[in-house]
Amino acid sequence: MSENNGTSTNFIHSIIEKDLESGKYGGKVITRFPPEPNGYLHIGHAKSICLNFTTAQKYGGKCNLRYDDTNPVKEDVEYINSIEEDVRWLGFEWDERLWASDYFETMYNAAVALINKGKAYVCDLTADEMKTYRGTLTEPGKESPYRSRSLEENLSLFADMKDGKYAEGAKVLRAKIDMSSPNINMRDPIIYRIAHAVHHNTGDEWCIYPMYDFAHPIEDAIEGITHSICTLEFEDHRPLYDWCLREVGWWPTPPQQIEFARLNLTHTVMSKRLLKGLVDDCVVEGWDDPRMPTIAGLRRRGYTPEAIRDFCDRIGVAKSNSTVDVGLLEHCVREDLGGRVESRNVVENPIKVIITNYPEGILEEMEMENNRNVPEMGTRRVPFGREILIDGDDFMEVPSKGYFRLYPGNEVRLKGAYFITCTDAIKDEQGNIVEIHCTYDPQTRSGEGFEGRKVKGTIHWVEATTALPIIVRHYDYLMTDDESGESRINPDSVTEINAFSEPSLTAVRPGDRFQFFRHGYYIADSRLTQGDHRVFNRIVDLKSSFKVTK
RNA sequence: UGGGGUAUAGCCAAGUGGUAAGGCAGUGGAUUCUGAUUCCAUCACUCGCAGGUUCGAAUCCUGCUACCCUAGCCA
């Protein structure tokens, strides 16, 4: 239920509660969501967003939105808007919206402070040389010949770097730690590099940029972040995170980094590289294609922020790599939509039904519930007449075992209308069924309390002369997970189906969601109107334990 | 081969020395004018494996095994 959002606890909460008890941060809890503006947010980011924002809420703290924009060559302002839209759409509001690039001056000063302490030096090694000097996983590295430069020389060289006197790659600033550390991140990591690039925020003010490992702890410290939550792959970087803060020494109570496992989902991919590939190769329409696991894609698909937040709450937060079954996400969506969306009659692969004993030229109005589980959502009137369309799946000439919808000789209820009994299936020369003949029983009209006999099946229908032709789109999973565990692109993940709805769907507005009787939850997509036909995207199907096999 | 992590049901996940929460999926049943929803029941004699400590171990100790991360001037 959406009321459960953010109510679960996890190991990060335990850490925070211990810190609260010990008074480590003076009772404060400040988190942050720090995306690099180099792409669209996906549901994996949603997990991080929910974690950071709800954790702050839970302890009466704050959560900042901070752009980790320390690499001008990969970032772009175009992503900023989408990130803010997505975070807000999910239902969160940041305390402050900040840019790491606004701290460049402080970071530069921190680097100078490190040089002054003899804890950083300018290195002239090329990238290739640096690689060989770094050593391997099993062999220690070698100290750079530039490691012993004097303090004055380092200071002046670093100033020259800042002043643009060197080409990209000519020099870097390195932390002086330990070339023989078993943790490669501690083998004199680069903390500043030269990049003659225009930065979206600072323009050409800087030509040297701090590396993540140096910048991130400082960003956190400047903002007074108490708990810096990131993903597992940064565990090895934590000693460096702590080193930077300790050696710069400007913050008495530095933030602590805590790592958790990123989200993986079955039948999809979360890698930005692969997602971008799908967009670039036109496998999908764009970042907001309804099949994409991006926030924009999920939004266009019709998922609600409540469902996504509920999902993030239910999957939990831990440190083991895991792949969550996408069925859980779908469950969350069904549960949320089931309590807030109106139902409509829509038939796919229609079959014409003629009710032979119903008067010709007459239309009566049937009153139908908008949401059977939520009576307060009221009713609507739907036309009914002699000729109706029913769903292709609701008739079988030769019923399979256990089938209890319409077949010759069987009686079913037309939802909101009458009982009908199939008397005949009319075929063309090729043997295809063109129409079905039925008779109805006037005393079984819906709402009149007929108790004479029961029928097992209830099917939906649309009056033929007032039916509105629409197009529905069904989405299959983006990726197929085969037995080998390999994930590959599902090439046929969109199916368009011609369907007919009751006339009330004429008044639909883009973004309106409905349950199409027994089919699933659908959303009207403003971008997908084809000619006069409104197009509906299937958000998620309904659970069904009976599959029709013809 | 160094270092850092993680192993609890088909999938997630609580649990931190006192006798295995919860959710998803599944199964059986009840209700149903949606084969939906709802409801009830059921679903780990056992916690990666092997030893050990203890009255008592998923929890502590020892030794193994498997998987993930890590050698960008990306984040």
Question: Using one digit for the tens of pLDDT, what is the confidence trace for A112-135?
Answer: 999 999 999 999 999 999 999 999
A425 - beta bridge partners? A436
Query: Is pLDDT of A3 > 60?
Result: no
Q: What is the pLDDT of residue A381?
A: 97
Q: Kindly tell me if the per-residue pLDDT of A484 is higher than 70.
A: no
Instruction: Report if CB A234 to strand B is under 7 Å.
Output: yes
What is residue A352's predicted lDDT score, i.e. its pLDDT?
A: 98
- pLDDT tens-place string over residues A359-406: 999 999 999 999 999 999 999 999 999 999 999 999 999 999 999 999
Task: Name the residues of A annotated as catalytic.
Answer: 36, 262, 272
A209: the nucleotide nearest its CA (via C1') is: B73
Secondary structure of A142-157 in HEC code, one letter for each residue: CCCCCCCCCHHHHHHH
**Confidence check: pLDDT of A526 > 80:** no
Residue A251 has pLDDT above 90, yes or no: yes
| Cβ contact A185 with chain B strand, < 7 A | yes
pLDDT digits (tens, 9 = 90+) for A150-168: 999 999 999 999 999 999 9
- Window A306-365, strand B contacts by Cβ < 7 Å: 314-325, 327-328, 331, 334-335, 338, 343
d(CA A228, CA A284): 35
User: Measuring CA to CA, which residue among A154, A130, A152 is closest to residue A143?
Assistant: A130
Contact present, A149 and A122 (Cβ < 8 Å): yes
Going by pLDDT thresholds of 50, 70 and 90, the confidence category of residue A532 is confident
- Distance CA(A89)–CA(A85), nearest Å, equals 6
Q: What is the pLDDT of residue A549?
A: 66
A440 residue type, one letter? Y
Average pLDDT for chain A: 95
pLDDT of A292 strictly over 90: yes
Whole-number percent of chain A with pLDDT over 90: 92
Element (H, E) at A123: strand A120-123
CA atoms of A488 and A57, how far apart (whole Å): 39
| Ordered alpha helix ranges (H), A193-293 | 212-223, 238-248, 272-280
Alpha-carbon span A111 to A121, nearest angstrom:
10
Give the model's pLDDT for residue A7: 77
Distance A328 CA to B41 C1' (A): 23
Element (H, E) at A329: helix A326-338
Strand B at less than 7 A from CB of A14: yes
* pTM for this model (two decimals): 0.96
pLDDT on residue A197: 97
